[in-house]
Amino acid sequence: MFREIKRALKMHRIFIVQELKRFMEYKGDFITGAIGLLLAQLCSIIFISVIFSQIPTLVGWSFNEVMFIYGFSLIPKAVDHLFFDNLWAVGHFIVRKGDFDKYLTRPINPLFHVMAEKFQVDAFGELVMGIVLLSCSLPSLDIEYSFMKILLTIVVVIFASFIYTGIKIGTSAIAFWTKRSGNIIFMFYMVNDFVKYPIDIYNNVVRSVLTYIIPFAFTAYFPALYFITGENPLFNIGMTIVVAIVVMTIGVLIWNRGIKAYESAGS
């Protein structure tokens, strides 16, 4: 078990180094992508600023709290985007073109291989924006810090990013049956737009969907709530970890069934 993990990590490092070489070759292109993502977030922030120029609080949330949740939501998203972006390609064309054969013939787990193959530098746009937002909003929030709290937050970001990855694994695997599922991944993925804001601005239906069905609320709102208030770590942190494990397990189960259904393209 331990040796396998060590081997996987080593392989992952090799893949990342390969990707970085590619990055150095097309530096300008990657920077354009990262700036694009950064600006996209900036537009939303201007949007929020315009709203708050007219009202003191948004259903009880202050500007800085909204900014904190917004910033927090970007970080797990960016982590998943950075490491596991290649799953989109599975849904868009890898299966359809029959290129998945390559992964089946290599002596590593195909899921691990396909996920580790790409290192998406564009994601730094989101990551930088998230960190900037957190650091700008933190000083004006009345938060009690402790070593435990910071440690828990870091752990929870890792698990929260697994929620993204798990959903992407499960939905990209649909392509094994339907040949392409890029747009299904997109549909599920876009639900994350909702959790950039405190979820109590939504009605009960939307809130339940975000908590129980497509549980993106655990990637931002609940962990951020713990960090801001320090309340209810058992639910806000504990449930995030449980949900991440459940989503990941479901995703991998769908993937494993899908791989058995995979038929190569006949060319």
Partner 1 sequence: MGKKLRIYLPFVNAGLQEVSTYRANWIFYILGDIMACFVSFFVWEAVFISTGGETFMGFARSDMVVYIFMSFLTGQIIGSGGTYNIGEEVKDGSIAMRMIKPISYNSTFLFQEIGNKIMEIGIIFVPLVAGVEIYRFAVTGSLKFDLLRFLLYLVCCVFAYAINFCFNICFGFTAFIFKNLWGSNMLKNTIVGFLSGSIIPIAFLPGVFKDILTFLPFSSLSYTPVMVYMGMYSGWEMLFFIGLQIFWTIVFWCLSKIIWKCVIKRLSIQGG
Among 43, 148, 213, 234, binds partner 1 (CB under 8 A): 43
User: Biggest alpha carbon distance in the chain?
Assistant: 62
- Which residue's structure tokens are 């359809």? 96
Does 265 help bind partner 1 (rule: CB under 8 A)? no
Q: How far is the CB of 126 from partner 1 (least distance, A)?
A: 12
Does 30 help bind partner 1 (rule: CB under 8 A)? yes
- Closest to partner 1 by CB, 153 or 192: 192
Among 1, 21, 154, 203, binds partner 1 (CB under 8 A): 203
Q: How far is the CB of 168 from partner 1 (least distance, A)?
A: 13
Does 50 help bind partner 1 (rule: CB under 8 A)? yes
- CA–CA distance, 193 with 126 (Å, rounded to integer): 13
Does 54 help bind partner 1 (rule: CB under 8 A)? yes
Q: Which of these, 120, 119, 130, lies nearest to 40 by C-alpha position?
A: 130
- CA–CA distance, 69 with 49 (Å, rounded to integer): 14
Q: Which stretch binds partner 1 (CB under 8 A): 104-112, 161-169, 186-194, 230-238?
A: 186-194
Of 162-181, binders to partner 1 (CB under 8 A) are 180
Does 39 help bind partner 1 (rule: CB under 8 A)? yes
- Closest to partner 1 by CB, 145 or 186: 186
Q: Does residue 170 contact residue 255 with C-beta atoms inside 8 Å? A: yes
Kindly compute the dihedral angle of the four CA atoms of residues 61, 164, 116, 252, in this order, to the nearest 10 degrees: 160
H-helix or E-strand spanning residue 225: helix 221-229
CA angle 8, 14, 16 (to 5 degrees): 100
Does 190 help bind partner 1 (rule: CB under 8 A)? yes
Does 57 help bind partner 1 (rule: CB under 8 A)? yes
Does 44 help bind partner 1 (rule: CB under 8 A)? yes
> Which residues on neighbouring strands pair with residue 61, listed in sequence order?
58
Q: Does residue 26 contact residue 102 with C-beta atoms inside 8 Å? A: no
- CA–CA distance, 228 with 145 (Å, rounded to integer): 10
Does 23 help bind partner 1 (rule: CB under 8 A)? no
- CA–CA distance, 225 with 69 (Å, rounded to integer): 8
The tokens for 50 are: 């315009």
Of 71-130, binders to partner 1 (CB under 8 A) are 122
Among 1, 5, 59, 154, binds partner 1 (CB under 8 A): 59
CA angle 32, 76, 121 (to 5 degrees): 25
Q: How far is the CB of 82 from partner 1 (least distance, A)?
A: 15
Q: How far is the CB of 59 from partner 1 (least distance, A)?
A: 5
Q: Does residue 84 contact residue 163 with C-beta atoms inside 8 Å? A: no
Among 11, 191, 250, 259, binds partner 1 (CB under 8 A): 191
List of residues contacting partner 1 (CB under 8 A): 26, 28-37, 39-40, 43-44, 46-47, 50-51, 54-55, 57-59, 122, 180, 182-184, 186-191, 193-194, 196-197, 201-203, 206
